[in-house]
Chains A and B, each alone.
Chain A
Amino acid sequence: MIKYKKDTDRIVTLTLDMEGRAANIINHELSDALVPVIGHLQAEKAKGKLQGIIITSAKKGFLQGGDLEYLFQAQQASVVFELAERFKTVLRSLERPGVPVVAAINGDALGAGFELALACHHRIALDTSHLRLGFPETRLGVIPSGGGITRLMWLLGVEQAYEVLASGQLYNAGEALQKQLIDEIAATPRDMMDKAKAYILSTDEGCRPWDQKQSRIPGGTARELGVAERLRALTASLAAHGPDTYPAEQAILSVLYEGSKLDFDTSCRVESRHFTTLLRSQVSKNRIKAFWFDQNFIRDGGNRPKGFGKFRPKRVGIIGAGRMGSGIAYACLDHGMEVVLKDVSKPIAERGLEYVRRHLDQDVSRAVKQAEEREQLLKRIQTTESSADFQDCDIVIEAVFENRMVKQKVMREAEEHMDEYSLFGSNTISIPITRLAEASLRPENYLGLHFFSPAEEVPLVEIVRGANTSDETVARAFDFVRAISKTPIVVKDDWGFFAARVQNTYILEGITMLQEGCPPALIENLGRQTGMPRGALALADSLGLNMVLRYENQAAEHYGTKYVQHPAVAVLKAMLEEWQRPGRQKRAGFYTYKGEERQQLWAGLADAFPAQPADTFDHAELKERFLVAQVLEAVWCMQEKVIHSIAAANLGSIHGWGFPASKGGVIQYVHDSGVDHFIARCKTLQQKHGQRFRLPSRLRSIVEQ
């Protein structure tokens, strides 16, 4: 578990190498193993036989973080609290043997793993491209449990520590050095060990800043008004999103606020108490389910057809240099691929390049990238007006405007120059893939790749399988999406696929409320209060009311005689026909617009749909309807095999249209509220509000699979 080696300079190297695991993780086994080793080292020090300690790892990574499978099960407060306290005690004794301790970080040091590094007096990281370090905890709705918040606050100051902790950002060695998360970088493993020894021999420092009497937190404590004011502004920026959106970030602020005024050990204990609350909270269970278990399921190839070798796309063709095409181009470049960007003329294609360049400039000014890297990336993108340039592409994606003829034409032109092994993906939101494929030379290599705008940011792609799309093509598309670090979900070629179809029910529910006499501002505020990123009416406007209605008409067509008209349809028709307000594109919808910019709710709504006072409505039920409408539609999608796994549905909902991560996604919602309770609520809602709250017949077996 821990290899112990002492050299002639009386420097002990501890090499972590947990048995039966691919990676070292922090759990009670490792804690149990460290305790006697540290005890022995303290005895050695007392005898004067110890100069310093180096901790490194025999695995590819240094230390991967806490044992989430174990933590996910933890229930009892006292157990969780003791766990956190025990880990802190181990780290505390590690940093207090009276000799310098160096972390020789040879690979990933994440979360609790990086906390161990922070408990060393000196950190040296290997400068390799794959190494990442930092604190990903907030994504899972929890905070570090080993004193990491308090240590980072003492090392970087309150504000810097907050940024590193709350952003959840992971850093490579160079970035970590710049952020002062580490002290040195090393080019090779040997260089790293030499530097570690050199540090130990050059210092007899064995005392952390927080253990020294005269030390101060850089930038001051929350007693200082400047710091307190900054924390207050951060508090407001988080609380603006409601209580459940950023609970971990809020806890970090609390620990910094309190902890900066307390002594080190008490601050650490405050941290343990917040950790305990968060880990036991439903929000964190939901987030861990989505961002750990579901994410791993997808990453490990869940829903990827089996039996096909890994596809490693090197060169990507993109047709259409608009916002979508340029965004996809950036995402591909950023993940090491070459890009051929085509549009009807070279100057138009150049606009896409300009978009990419602006994006890279931003990256450089934000210090996310080096200027040199930007130049390298720009060399890998080529603009063209000729499909002939696609001949070496492994995959070509079209992102031209939503017209079947145009899409088929560009596909056909590109396919002429592509080989039999290359993929062609269409980025569409409303045209059936099977229909488009009719014009394809190789329909088995053809499929839908539905990116979301802005494509460089939204971490989801819907892979739409047409009637003739081969399994191998789906598997390769899956690999491509993974290669640009996005989450692929495989969906059926039905109207709206998965994301747009389910999201539309949120919009329709909001529009229905308008018809019920709900004040429009209330609709928008309560929608956002559920954790949805935007109000239903605002969303309807930006999608276009025609589009919203079109999806619903497609549903009507699909279900035929079984279809029950949604009450929102009448409102949509009135808005479109009577009031001529089709949405943002025409600068008139539920909102008024000044240019592209949304101004305020259209005052005419008051006459068109007379409202009753806000307090005559049951706000909790309105909020529930917003989410339950989506959940039921997602279950229908699973029942109708539009989507094939709970993991895909959950992540698709969070990444695709911002379904609240605090609920863990659109299927996890049912477990969050309890399956029986959910079913009972749907029955009540169905009685009060109609057929759209009818339970899918297989709901229970679907959510409990």
Chain B
Amino acid sequence: MPEAYIYDALRTPRGKGKRSGALYEVKPVDLLSAALDALRERTQLDPSGVDDTLIGCVTPTDDQGYNIAQAALLQSGWGQSAGSLQLNRYCASGLEAVNLAAMKIRSGWGQLVVAGGVESMSRVPMGSDGGALMYDPAFISGVPYLPQGVAADLIATLEGFSREIADTYAHQSQQRAKHAIDAGYFGRSVIPIYDQNGLLVLEQDEHPRPEATYEDLSALPAVFERAGQQGFDAMALQQYPSLEHIRHIHTAGNSSGIVDGAGLVLVGTYRQGHTLGLKPRAKVIAAANVSVDPTIMLTGPAPAARKALGQAGMEVADIDLWECNEAFAAVVLKFQREMGLSDSVVNVNGGAIALGHPLGATGAMLLGTLIDELERQDKQTGCVTLCVGGGMGVATIIERV
């Protein structure tokens, strides 16, 4: 069976996902197209040799509708490649794209596949595509299905995570991201975004708030209390009746940031890489997805990681570094507790709390961040995992070569 090698990983900077964000003026198709252009330039690949382009996008409507992957592909002049697919496994879409790419390679039915994701949350707001999970009364009552923030608060309540612990975690994320940016750890992967005249629009991540103190963070209001009072707290208690009430600890400061961005990973066989003259950086050795209780929804990372470890025949201790998406502080805290992991190996360069979470792209971005860091620390193995809406989890294990 051929191995799935990773030859390159890159991403756009993450712009604030609102009108004041630098990437708000950039169309999502341009973001993804810029990433494709950069990949072509860096690897000198010939698009006609690309067997597929798999792109995660969570709100595929409006400017991101009608298969944004194909739009970007054609805009970048990759028409002679074998086409594209837009996919949606919510927040893990970008990682799922990498996993599917690896499966294509390992099956022998593809030699070179581009995987990644894109999301312009400023232009196409989360949830603006409607859908049963968001709005269908019968579905929401039937599951019962909560807003993700209430589910995160439910995790915190069950696990006894206080607001203080969550804010401390958030502060650490900000400080780690600042350190990584200042030290240039992201330099290899981040590509600047220019306008059509070649004028610079955004060069670096703009979401981090390194100046935010712990006190600043602890002054922020709990944002999901209102949804809780609408009735979602009571729905949570119906499923978890041992709790007296839901403690709302998540704020805009200890939840992932809303941002715009795109990320890509180039996956291929050893032979195809050799032909292109590319040096493999890592290989995908396990990929897994799982389901968990849909009401609590966001507890997927640990079981997904365990499933992936099982596939690879590995133990927790065999993994050198972990990336667990900082959707909400409680998600990572719970993951660490379940897996018995110390701070020193999890999200060592910060995460989505500081850097932002461009839904469809994040999984691919985290994989790139992990490879960069493994190389920097000269370590061997890493695992990326994300919690996923609808009660899912996805994990990928890679090993440097």
B114-139 residues at the A interface, CB under 8 angstroms: 127-128, 130, 134-138
Does A242 contact B238, Cβ atoms closer than 8 Å? yes
Is B198 an interface position by the 8 A CB rule? no
Q: In the complex, how many angstroms separate the beta carbon of A529 from the nearest chain B beta carbon?
A: 6
Nearest Cβ distance between residue B138 and chain A, in whole angstroms? Answer: 5
Between B134, B135, B140, B241, the greatest number of chain A beta carbons within 10 A of the residue's beta carbon is seen for: B241
Please tell me which stretch of B189-197, B228-236, B353-361 contacts chain A, meaning at least 4 of its Cβ atoms lie within 8 angstroms of it: B228-236
Cross-chain contact B140 with A525 (CB below 8 angstroms) = no
Residues B141 and A238 in contact, CB atoms below 8 Å apart: yes
How far is A644 from B243 in the complex, measured between Cα atoms in Å? 41
A522 touches B141 (CB 8 A): no
A255-290 near B? 1/0 per residue, CB < 8 Å: 001000000000000000000000000000000000
Looking at chain A's contact residues, the main secondary structure is: helix
Q: How far is the CA of A234 from the CA of B227 in the complex (A)?
A: 11
Closest to A233 in B: B230
Chain A 333-352, CB-CB to B under 8 Å as 1, else 0, gives: 00000000000000000000
CB pair B141 A243 closer than 8 Å? yes
B237, CB-defined interface residue at 8 Å: yes
Within 8 A of A (CB), among B227-267: 227, 230-235, 237-238, 241-245
Cβ of B21 under 8 Å from chain A: no
Q: Which residue of B lies closest to A242 (CB)?
A: B238
Residues of B within 8 A of A237 (CB): 230-231
* B144 close to chain A: CB less than 8 A: yes
Contact B241 A223, beta carbon cutoff 8 Å: no
Given A237-B231, A240-B231, A519-B242, answer yes or no on A525-B237 (Cβ-Cβ < 8 Å).
yes
A253 interface residue, CB < 8 Å from B?
Answer: yes
Interface: A232 (CB within 8 A): yes
Q: State whether A236 and B230 are in contact (beta carbons under 8 Å apart), knowing that A228-B130, A521-B242 are contacts in the complex.
A: yes
A254 located at the interface, meaning its Cβ lies under 8 Å from any Cβ of chain B in the complex? yes
Which chain A residues (594-651) contact chain B, with CB distance < 8 Å?
600-601, 613-615, 619
Given A240-B231, A250-B137, A257-B136; A223-B237 close (CB under 8 Å):
no
A27–B235 Cα gap in the complex (Å)?
39
* Cβ B138 vs Cβ A232 within 8 A: no
Interface centre among A242, A525, A526 (most CB of B within 10 A): A525
Q: A522 and B241: CB pair below 8 A? A: yes
A570 within 8 A of B: no
Cβ contact within 8 Å between A236 and B136: no
Q: Are B235 and A236 in contact (CB under 8 A)?
A: yes
Which B residues are CB-close (under 8 A) to A619?
241
Give the distance in Å from the alpha carbon of A521 to the alpha carbon of B242 in the complex. Answer: 5
Chain B's closest residue to A249 (CB) is: B137
Residues of A within 8 A of B235 (CB): 236, 239-240
A235–B234 Cα gap in the complex (Å)?
Answer: 12
Give the residues in chain A near B130, CB-CB below 8 Å: 222-223, 228
B140 touches A236 (CB 8 A): yes
Q: How far is the CA of A558 from the CA of B135 in the complex (A)?
A: 56
Check A524 for interface membership: any CB of B closer than 8 A: yes
Pick from B128, B134, B227, B243: contact of A236, CB under 8 Å: B227
- Whether A232 pairs with B234 at a CB distance below 8 angstroms is no
Residue of A nearest to B135 (CB): A228
Interface membership of A241, Cβ < 8 A: yes
**Closest partner residue, chain B, to A237 (CB atom):** B231
Q: Tell me how far the C-beta of B146 lies from the nearest C-beta in chain A, rounded to whole angstroms.
A: 9
Q: Which residues of B contact A600 (CB under 8 A)?
A: 244-245
| A375 nearest CB across to chain B (Å) | 37
For window 93-125 of chain A, which residues contact chain B by CB distance below 8 Å?
none
A22 interface contact, C-beta 8 A = no
Please name all residues of chain B whose beta carbon is closer than 8 Å to the beta carbon of A601 when the two chains form the complex: 244
**A257 touching B135, Cβ below 8 Å:** yes
State the Cβ distance, A539 to closest chain B Cβ, in Å. Answer: 16
CB contacts under 8 Å to A, within B351-400, are none
Residues of B within 8 A of A521 (CB): 241-244
A242 CA / B235 CA spacing, docked (Å): 7
How many A-B residue pairs have C-beta atoms within 8 angstroms? Tell me.
82
Q: Tell me, in angstroms, the Cα distance from A619 to B239 when the chains sit together.
A: 11
A228 and B244 form a contact (CB under 8 A) = no
What does DSSP make chain B's interface, helix, strand, loop or mixed? helix
Task: Please tell me the number of chain A residues within 8 Å of chain B, measured between CB atoms.
Answer: 36
Q: Which residues of B contact A229 (CB under 8 A)?
A: 135
Expressed in whole angstroms, the Cα–Cα distance for A179 and B230 within the complex equals: 26
Tell whether A231 is near chain B: CB-to-CB under 8 Å: yes
Instruction: From known contacts A236-B230, A237-B231, A240-B234, infer whether A614 and B140 are also in contact, taking CB-CB under 8 Å.
Output: no
Contact B141–A239 (Cβ < 8 Å): yes
Q: In the complex the two chains form, what is the Cα distance from A250 to B137 in whole Å?
A: 7
A702, chain B: closest CB distance, angstroms: 33
> Smallest distance from the beta carbon of A248 to chain B beta carbons, Å?
13
Chain A positions within 8 Å of B144 at CB level: 239
* CB closest residue in chain B, given A529: B238
Q: Which of B61-111 contact A (CB under 8 A)?
A: none
The docked-state distance in angstroms from the alpha carbon of A236 to that of B229 is 9
Evaluate contact between B140 and A232: CB separation under 8 angstroms: yes
Closest to A225 in B: B128
0 or 1 for each of B313-339: is its CB under 8 Å from A? (1 = yes) = 000000000000000000000000000
Q: Judging by beta carbons under 8 Å apart, are B128 and A526 in contact?
A: no
**Cα of A519 to Cα of B141 in the assembled complex, Å:** 26
- Which residues between 40 and 64 of chain A lie within 8 Å of chain B, taking CB atoms? none
Chain A nearest CB from B65 CB (Å) reads 14
Of chain A, the residue at the smallest CB distance from B236 is: A240
Report the minimum CB–CB distance from B246 to chain A (whole Å).
Answer: 12
A235 touches which one: B141, B233, B241 (CB < 8 A)?
B141
**Residue of A232, A237, A243, A521 contacting most chain B CB atoms (<10 Å):** A232
The interface residues of chain B lying within 8 Å CB-to-CB of A223 are 130
**A232 to B238, Cβ gap below 8 A?**
no
Residues in chain A near residue B242, CB distance under 8 A: 519, 521-522, 525, 613-615
- Chain A residues 520-567 with CB under 8 Å of chain B are 520-522, 524-526, 529
A222 — nearest CB in chain B belongs to which residue?
A: B135
On whether A231 and B135 interact (CB within 8 A), knowing A236-B140, A242-B238, the answer reads yes
Q: Which of A225, A228, A236 contacts B232 (CB 8 A)?
A: A236
Least distance between A417 CB and chain B CB atoms (Å) = 52
**Which A residues, 208 to 224, have Cβ-Cβ distances below 8 Å to chain B?**
222-223
Which residues of A are found within 8 Å of B230, using beta-carbon distances? 233, 236-237, 240
Taking a contact as CB atoms under 8 Å apart, the answer to whether B134 and A228 are in contact is: yes
Query: Contacts A232-B135, A235-B137, A254-B137: A241 and B245 contacting too (C-beta < 8 A)?
Result: no
A residues in contact with B233, CB < 8 Å: 240
Residues of B within 8 A of A525 (CB): 237-238, 241-243
B127, B141, B234, B243: residue with the most chain A Cβ atoms closer than 10 Å: B141
Closest residue of chain B to A223, judged by CB? Answer: B130
In the bound complex, residues from chain A placing their C-beta under 8 Å from that of B141 are 235, 238-239, 243, 250
Determine if A254 and B138 form an interchain contact, defined as CB atoms under 8 angstroms apart: yes
Knowing A228-B134, A522-B241, A614-B242 are in contact, say whether A235-B140 is a contact too (CB < 8 A). Answer: yes
CA distance A614 to B243 in the complex (A): 10
Distance in angstroms from A161 CB to nearest chain B CB is: 14
B154 vs chain A, min Cβ distance (A): 14
In the complex the two chains form, what is the Cα distance from A139 to B230 in whole Å? 22
* Closest CB in chain B relative to A162 CB, distance in Å: 11
A386 to B121, CA, bound (A): 72
Contact (Cβ within 8 A) B244 A524? yes
Which 5 A-B residue pairs are closest in the complex by CB-CB distance? A240-B231, A236-B231, A614-B242, A240-B234, A525-B241
Residues of chain B whose beta carbon lies under 8 Å from any beta carbon of chain A: 127-128, 130, 134-138, 140-141, 144, 227, 230-235, 237-238, 241-245
24 cross-chain CB contacts under 8 A = A229-B135, A231-B137, A232-B134, A232-B137, A234-B137, A235-B141, A236-B227, A236-B231, A236-B235, A239-B140, A239-B141, A239-B234, A240-B230, A243-B141, A250-B137, A521-B243, A525-B237, A525-B238, A525-B242, A526-B241, A529-B238, A601-B244, A614-B241, A615-B242
Given A232-B140, A239-B231, A524-B244, 11 more A-B residue pairs with CB atoms under 8 Å apart are A228-B130, A232-B134, A235-B137, A235-B141, A236-B140, A236-B231, A239-B234, A254-B136, A522-B242, A525-B238, A613-B242
